[in-house]
Amino acid sequence: MYLEITLKQLPEISEKQVVLEPAMRNTAPCILLSALKIKKENPNALMLVAPSDHWIEDENAFAKDVQACFDAAQRENILLTLGIEPTFPNTGYGYIENDKNDISEIKKVKQFREKPDYETAKKFLAAGNFLWNAGIFIWSAKSIIVSFPKHLTGMNSLFSKGITFLNTSEEKKFIEINYAEAENISIDYGILEKADNVFVKKATFDWNDLGTWGALYDKLEKDKNNNSVVNADTYLKDSKNNMVFTNTKKLVVLDGIEDYIVVDKEDVLLLFPKKKEQEIKELLKAVSTKFGKKYL
């Protein structure tokens, strides 16, 4: 399914340029595997790593920021990330701390900070040298590859033994056999928080993480009562400021419902207050633990 969606949305690429993960192992394994494939094709290649569920308003500004980082990555053995200037004390994002006395465009990262509580997030904003971590990374293929023997030795050994198979007819078989053996860890934890050559550039474009229902609600068109609806047919009485999503064309009837997220998928129905949206992930973890299945 994902292969078909990818090729439909990116018709200029071919199927051999898409690597499907046979198991969920977070971002570090897929980045290393991709870097090894790319470097084998072009030893001097540069890489952009970006999530697919982000909203970027100004594509020209995004392209300029990426080019500035590409130029820096080509000159030096550094790992770069684009940080987003915070607009409010969000507790749902990780933060990137840089040197507030550094006036250069691209600054060295002092440290990555975990998702904070509200009071800590307010302190980050007041300090003025913290950016949201958007998970957008730029580096040369060889720079990220050399980071793995230092910080994720086992993963490096696992994938390095398959270099001869990459970009050949044997690649798929190698990935299917070995990928699930990789450590389940993000590139942030596995590499970036340990490396001493990580730099950040403040983004100049508008950005939104559509990985949350609230963020999606902000970007969608709304009716006269500020309800956003995806797929559903609706009958809404005395209901406003709701996010309504259904997998299929289903009739949703709401009466007296305000500021709720209403999601109907194949095997789960979620009704959740928008004001508590940042608690959804923890709730779904608890539900998944209880019922032995990942939801939403």
**Domain identity same for 108 and 68:** yes
Q: Say whether both 81 and 6 belong to one domain.
A: yes
Q: CATH no. for residue 193?
A: 3.90.550.10
Same domain, 33 and 15: yes
10 Å CB burial of residue 182 (0-12, 13-18, 19+) is buried
Does the residue 296 lie in any domain?
A: no
70 shares its domain with 84: yes
Q: Check residue 296 and give its pLDDT.
A: 64
Bridge pairing between strands 79-84 and 130-140: antiparallel
Q: What is the pLDDT of residue 32?
A: 98
In a domain, 286, yes or no: yes
Which pLDDT value is given to residue 270?
Answer: 92
Residues of the domain holding 88: 2-209
Residue 78 falls within a domain, yes or no? yes
For residue 25, tell me if it sits in a domain.
yes
Q: Taking a C-beta distance cutoff of 8 angstroms, is the pair 266, 250 a contact? A: no
Q: Are residues 117 and 256 in the same domain?
A: no
Are residue 237 and residue 149 in the same domain, yes or no? no
| Domain closes at, from 162, 177, 209 | 209
Query: In this structure, are 123 and 23 located in the same domain?
Result: yes
273 and 176 co-located in one domain: no
Residue 57 lies in a domain: yes
Of 185, 294, 218, nearest in space to 54 by CA: 218
Q: What is the pLDDT of residue 295?
A: 67
Residues 186 and 270 in one domain: no
In this structure, the answer to whether residues 225 and 203 fall within a common structural domain is no
Q: Are residues 196 and 78 in the same domain?
A: yes
What's this model's pTM, rounded to 2 decimal places? 0.81
Q: Out of 182, 209, 236, pick the residue that ends a domain.
A: 209
In a domain, 248, yes or no: yes
Chunk the chain into consecutive blocks of 10 residues (it has 296) and report each block's average pLDDT, rounded to whole numbers: 89 91 95 97 97 89 98 97 93 91 93 93 96 97 98 97 96 96 96 97 90 82 95 96 94 97 90 88 84 73
3-state secondary structure the chain: CHHHHHHHHCCCCCHHHCCCCCCCCCHHHHHHHHHHHHHHHCCCCEEEECCCCEEECCHHHHHHHHHHHHHHHHHCCCEEEEEECCCCCCCCCCEEEECCCCCCCEEEEEEEECCCCHHHHHHHHHHCCEEEEEEEEEEEHHHHHCCHHHHCHHHHHHHHCCHHHCCCCCHHHHHHHHHHHCCCCCHHHHHHCCCCCEEEEECCCCEEECCCHHHHHHHCCCCCCCCEEECCEEEEECCECCEEEECCCCEEEEECCECEEEEEECCEEEEEEHHHHHHHHHHHHHHHHHHCCCCC
Q: Is residue 23 part of a domain?
A: yes
In a shared domain, residues 199 and 256:
no
Query: Quick one: which of 268, 263, 271 has its CA closest to 294?
Result: 268
The tally of domains found in the chain comes to 2
Domain assignment present for 9: yes
Domain end, chosen from 176, 209, 242, is at: 209
Contact 91, 117 (CB under 8 A): yes
